[in-house]
Chain A
Amino acid sequence: AQSVTQLGSHVSVSEGALVLLRCNYSSSVPPYLFWYVQYPNQGLQLLLKYTSAATLVKGINGFEAEFKKSETSFHLTKPSAHMSDAAEYFCAVTPSGNTGKLIFGQGTTLQVKP
């Protein structure tokens, strides 16, 4: 069964520092991978998705992620953190390419310190 594992339930960075949120997937077939963000008391918003086209995927708000098959990873990065990036981030995979059913990681809470 497909699954994703997010390493680190909490990540703290200083404003302006690099953001790196880790996600590893487990899949026997080429996966479709997603990063979502959730702000307090809100639903989820799609940051970016990998659908087997380019391995480096650019998303909204300056985020990007690189699909690395050899490492089974899909880490999320942003060169310079902003206070408004403080939120919870979820990596997700879709079994059989059906995005109506997403399997989520446990989430990583990003704290941005001034």
Chain B
Amino acid sequence: KAGVTQTPRYLIKTRGQQVTLSCSPISGHRSVSWYQQTPGQGLQFLFEYFSETQRNKGNFPGRFSGRQFSNSRSEMNVSTLELGDSALYLCASRLAGDKLETQYFGPGTRLLVL
């Protein structure tokens, strides 16, 4: 079974632009979570989607948004990029959204904002 895939793997943008990142969960998984990883702040939770609905949201500004499609694929969007948005963005999926299921992580998308 294929793992979590994220596209693109690397991305370079300039300040003020917007970006969309994509995550394809493991087949059959219905929950997708997004995390931002930076050297200064570490790993921080962005949001979780389950059955096309946002179920949890972290403490990020409204420039960060996401959505989930009926096939469970998810996208996150960052508008008006800032230098501080440079990070590794990880998504993770789990089966049915039950409490203690393991999250399986993708390899991440590395975003560099110039």
Contacts and interface: CB of A to CB of B under 8 A. Distances in A.
Interface stretch (B62-70, B71-79, B105-113): B105-113
Given A41-B107, A43-B108, A49-B102, A100 B42 contact: no
B105 A102 contact: no
B113 to A, nearest CB: 19
B37 to A, nearest CB: 9
Interface in B67-114: 90, 92, 94, 97, 99-108
Interface size class of A (residues with CB under 8 A): 20 to 34
User: Which residue, B94, B102, B105, B107, has most C-beta atoms of chain A within 10 A?
Assistant: B105
B111 to A, nearest CB: 14
Interface in A86-114: 90, 92, 94, 97-107
Given A100-B94, A101-B33, A101-B45, A43 B100 contact: no
A65 B95 CA distance: 25
Interface string B37-60: 000001111001010000110100
Contacts of A36: 105
B31 interface: yes
B99 A97 contact: yes
Chain B binding surface, main DSSP class: strand
Contacts of B31: 100
A99 B106 contact: no
B100 A99 contact: yes
A46 B43 CA distance: 15
A46 B103 CA distance: 8
Q: Which 3 A-B pairs have the closest CB atoms?
A: A43-B105, A104-B43, A100-B48
Given A92-B43, A94-B100, A101-B45, 6 more contacts: A44-B92, A98-B56, A100-B31, A100-B56, A102-B45, A106-B42
